[in-house]
């Protein structure tokens, strides 16, 4: 009997924000200059964390995906209520109060107090740059390995259209699959099953590349191959050392991703 041939990888699904794109840089750049950069970074990281927690709560409650802009606006407001960040939105007392306060002595609103500023920060999520090595890696996977390449990410179609344009990845992907289109958040099993059904491929023929362990766990449960790409901006609550052996491959960037996928 001839030895069984390995299954050929025919498609690669990419998570988008974090995995392929530097969302953190976009958010920090959109934060008013009056906010120190270290504080802007901490705010961005906590905002991202609360966004994931909100999605997980909706997923657990069996709720349909909501517009990501609504989620981001709500979670930003929640972050600005936390003690560590409340001063960025709430009025702060004058640094030199006088017995008879003048208009200049009155409390001033924080740099993120205005609704227009918060709306600007939400819009910043629609304009992100790709991590430096991403474009070349995707091109090599598509052209060198002959695999179809898709975005498979939570969010909206409008968001993904804006992001492929701003990131310079507009011509890289064959299709953009969002939770809005699929009608369910990852890691719900249906998110993977519906995408596989649409491209008419078996799970073993598809790899998911992501910087999020919860996503890869969902893909693995669906029978897909999994590649974890470590990004410092994401999975801040995960034990990275444990992740190194949990999936089919663990990478610290996408430089070696084409060879890794070829080896699967």
Nearest residue to 78 (alpha-carbon basis) of 108, 58, 53? 53
Quick one: pLDDT at residue 2?
47
Q: What angle do CA 185, 192, 189 make, to 5 degrees?
A: 65
pLDDT band at 236 (very low <50, low <70, confident <90, very high): very high
Domains of the chain: residue spans and CATH: 11-22+127-263 (3.40.50.1000), 23-93+112-126 (1.10.150)
Residue in the block written with tokens 């517009």: 67
Question: Is the pTM for the entire model greater than 0.85?
Answer: yes
Task: Express each pLDDT in 49-108 by its tens digit.
Answer: 999 999 999 999 999 999 999 999 999 999 999 999 999 998 655 454 555 555 545 567
Task: Express each pLDDT in 118-127 by its tens digit.
Answer: 999 999 999 9
Residue 199 φ/ψ, nearest 5 degrees:
-95, 0
Task: Express each pLDDT in 4-14 by its tens digit.
Answer: 556 799 999 99
Contact between 247 and 264 under an 8 Å Cβ cutoff? The reply is no
Give, to the nearest 10 degrees, the angle between helix 68-79 and helix 115-123. 130
When pLDDT is averaged across residues 216-234 and rounded to a whole number, the result is 98
* Residue 148: strand pairing partners: 11
C-alpha distances out from residue 150 to 27, 145, 154, Å: 25, 14, 13
Quick one: pLDDT at residue 94?
45
Contact between 13 and 152 under an 8 Å Cβ cutoff? The reply is yes
Count CB neighbours of 62 within 10 A: 8
Contact between 59 and 185 under an 8 Å Cβ cutoff? The reply is yes
d(CA 191, CA 61): 16
* Residue 13: strand pairing partners: 150, 208
Quick one: pLDDT at residue 101?
52
């Amino acid at each position: 009997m001839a030895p069984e041939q390995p299954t050929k990888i025919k498609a690669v699904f990419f998570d988008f924000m974090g995995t392929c794109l530097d969302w953190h840089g976009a958010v920090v750049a959109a934060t008013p200059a009056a906010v120190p950069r270290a504080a802007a970074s901490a705010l961005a990281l906590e905002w991202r964390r609360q966004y994931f927690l909100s999605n997980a709560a909706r997923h657990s409650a069996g709720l349909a995906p909501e517009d990501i802009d609504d989620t981001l606006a709500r979670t930003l407001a929640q972050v600005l209520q936390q003690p560590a960040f409340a001063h960025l939105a709430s009025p702060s007392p004058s640094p030199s109060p006088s017995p008879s306060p003048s208009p200049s002595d009155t409390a001033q609103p924080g740099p993120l107090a205005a609704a227009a500023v918060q709306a600007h920060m939400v819009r910043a999520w629609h304009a992100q740059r790709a991590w430096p090595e991403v474009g070349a890696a995707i091109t090599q996977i598509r052209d060198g390995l002959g695999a179809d390449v898709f975005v498979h990410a939570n969010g909206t179609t409008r968001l993904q259209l804006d992001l492929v344009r701003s990131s310079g990845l507009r011509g890289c992907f064959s299709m953009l699959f969002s939770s809005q289109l699929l009608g369910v958040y990852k890691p719900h099993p249906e998110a993977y099953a519906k995408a596989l059904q649409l491209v008419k491929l078996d799970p073993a023929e598809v790899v998911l590349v992501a910087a999020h362990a919860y996503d890869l766990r969902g893909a693995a449960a669906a029978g897909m191959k999994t590649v974890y790409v470590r990004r410092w901006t994401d999975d801040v609550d995960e034990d990275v050392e444990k992740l190194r052996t949990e999936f089919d491959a663990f990478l610290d960037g996408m430089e070696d991703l084409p060879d890794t996928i070829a080896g699967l």
